[in-house]
């Protein structure tokens, strides 16, 4: 099967690039002496998870309990659910654990820790708990020097639940676009996690897991002394958001949307594609550093980027591509195919239930993925 056999818009995954990206991060983790626990929030695919574990990954990270359920059902039991726990989700966590999941959960809050401990004590479920540290991202997590840190550990540790360690995510590494700035944030990430762990150890508790990670910091950290594991997700396929930050090259992007040209608006100087906001997502994450990219980089159907052609506007089912000159209308006639490198792979992939896996311009297989909650 080749691209022109597919209905558009649809999602293509370049297997060679995927495996190169997977191996790149795995080599870094190996060299830095940490386990790699890839985040499956990007691909949400069992086949992708197999490729990651085959290449050396130890366990997986998920962003929803639906993902945990799906991966468990397909034989992946070592799972970290890296979103702040709420008490109403403990029964589902317990259910997954009873089915064999070695599921780690996370909190940054004393009241939630108490609820976990209470549920563990009353049910006998040995929840395994990580504490989330905010290393500067200002999303989830408490500060590594927060006075509640030790009370949370104590609350967990004195219950039937077990305290596993600390986890942080340098999401603010996406705010910069130089190697030196990423290196500095990687050190901030490492320091926050290790500092929290040191405080906890000094208070007399064992810390088994010290988990850090994001794609930029994973790729550019110089040193992860004290850290036990690295988590990252979008590095598996990359996207224009990462490219705009200097984290990858356009040629590394393994995910693309196959689209058909459905119109020529010659008065407005636009090619219209059947990939719009739903097919690409409305993420504009590359705007900060490469505003010209808009909603995606246009490639020929063979996957080579076309310089200067971007999806500059989207409506629900239309992508708007301003032409460079009249020749573009000839190069991309109505009905022709092209590919779009997405701005944010995690967002774009979520519009599809599968990837068509492509190798040397041939579709070799279809990998199912899940969505929703």
Interaction site with a copy of itself (CB under 8 A): 7-10, 41, 63-64, 83-88, 108-109, 111-112, 134, 138-143, 171, 260-265, 267-268, 270, 272, 274, 277-279, 281-284, 315-318, 320, 333-335, 344, 346-347, 350-353, 371-373
CA-to-CA separations, 52 to 18, 21, 43, 55, 106, in angstroms, rounded: 10, 10, 11, 5, 23
| Alpha-carbon dihedral 144, 31, 239, 356, rounded to 10 degrees | -120
Residue 21: CB minimum distance to a copy of itself, A? 19
Angle at 10 between CA 4 and CA 15, to 5 degrees: 85
Tokens of 81: 């659910």
Residue 298: CB minimum distance to a copy of itself, A? 17
Among 128, 147, 129, 162, CA closest to 199: 147
Residue with Cβ nearer a copy of itself (34 or 141): 141
Residue 33: CB minimum distance to a copy of itself, A? 29
Distance CA 230, CA 237 (A): 17
Residue with Cβ nearer a copy of itself (55 or 118): 118
Residue 31: CB minimum distance to a copy of itself, A? 28
Spatial neighbors of 347 by CB under 8 A, at least 6 apart, are 281, 283
Residue 143: CB minimum distance to a copy of itself, A? 6
Residue with Cβ nearer a copy of itself (136 or 224): 136
Residue 115: CB minimum distance to a copy of itself, A? 8
Residue with Cβ nearer a copy of itself (62 or 224): 62
| Alpha-carbon dihedral 152, 158, 161, 166, rounded to 10 degrees | 40
Residue 141: CB minimum distance to a copy of itself, A? 7
Residue with Cβ nearer a copy of itself (19 or 110): 110
Residue 351: CB minimum distance to a copy of itself, A? 7
Residue with Cβ nearer a copy of itself (134 or 164): 134
Spatial neighbors of 96 by CB under 8 A, at least 6 apart, are 65, 68, 69, 72, 103
Residue 7: CB minimum distance to a copy of itself, A? 6
> Do 37 and 61 meet the contact criterion of CB atoms below 8 Å apart?
yes
Residue with Cβ nearer a copy of itself (33 or 263): 263
Residue with Cβ nearer a copy of itself (22 or 85): 85
Contacts 24+ apart (CB under 8 A), 63-71: 63/39, 64/373, 65/89, 65/92, 65/93, 65/96, 65/373, 66/370, 66/372, 66/373, 67/40, 67/41, 67/370, 68/96, 68/101, 68/103, 69/96, 70/44, 70/46, 70/370, 71/40, 71/46
Residue with Cβ nearer a copy of itself (163 or 337): 337
Within 10 angstroms of residue 178's Cβ, the number of other Cβ atoms is: 11
Three-state SS annotation for 121-159: HHHCCCCEEEEEECCCCCCCCECCCCCCHHHHHHHHHCC
């Amino acid at each position: 099967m080749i691209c022109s056999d597919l209905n558009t818009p649809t999602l293509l995954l370049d297997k060679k690039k995927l495996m190169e990206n997977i191996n790149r991060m795995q080599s870094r983790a190996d060299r830095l002496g940490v386990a790699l626990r890839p985040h499956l929030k990007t691909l949400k695919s069992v086949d992708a998870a197999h490729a990651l574990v085959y290449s050396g990954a130890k366990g997986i990270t998920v962003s929803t309990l639906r993902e945990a359920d799906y991966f468990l059902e397909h034989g992946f039991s070592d799972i970290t659910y890296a979103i702040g726990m709420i008490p109403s989700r403990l029964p589902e966590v317990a259910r997954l654990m009873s089915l064999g999941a070695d599921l780690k959960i996370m909190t940054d809050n004393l009241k939630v820790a108490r609820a976990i401990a209470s549920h563990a004590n009353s049910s006998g479920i040995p929840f395994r708990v990580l504490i989330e540290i905010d290393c500067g991202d200002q999303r989830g997590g408490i500060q590594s020097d927060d006075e509640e840190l030790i009370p949370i550990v104590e609350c967990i540790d004195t219950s039937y639940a077990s305290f596993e360690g600390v986890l942080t995510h340098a999401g603010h590494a996406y705010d910069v676009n130089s190697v030196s700035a990423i290196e500095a944030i990687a050190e901030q990430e490492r320091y926050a996690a290790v500092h929290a762990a040191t405080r906890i150890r000094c208070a007399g508790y064992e810390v088994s897991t010290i988990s850090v990670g994001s794609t930029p910091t994973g790729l550019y950290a110089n040193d992860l002394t004290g850290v036990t594991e690295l988590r990252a997700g979008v590095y598996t396929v990359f996207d224009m958001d990462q490219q705009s930050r200097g984290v990858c090259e356009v040629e590394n992007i393994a995910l693309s949307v196959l689209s058909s040209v459905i119109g020529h608006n010659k008065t407005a100087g636009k090619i219209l594609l059947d990939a719009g906001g739903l097919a690409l997502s409305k993420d504009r994450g590359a705007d900060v550093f490469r505003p010209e990219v808009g909603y995606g980089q246009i490639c020929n159907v063979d996957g080579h980027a076309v310089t200067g052609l971007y999806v500059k506007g989207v409506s629900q089912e239309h992508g708007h591509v301003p032409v460079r000159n009249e020749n573009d209308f000839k190069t991309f006639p109505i009905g022709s195919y092209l590919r779009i490198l997405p701005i944010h792979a995690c967002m774009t992939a979520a519009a599809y239930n599968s990837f068509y896996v492509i190798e040397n311009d041939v579709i070799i297989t279809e990998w199912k993925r899940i969505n929703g909650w």
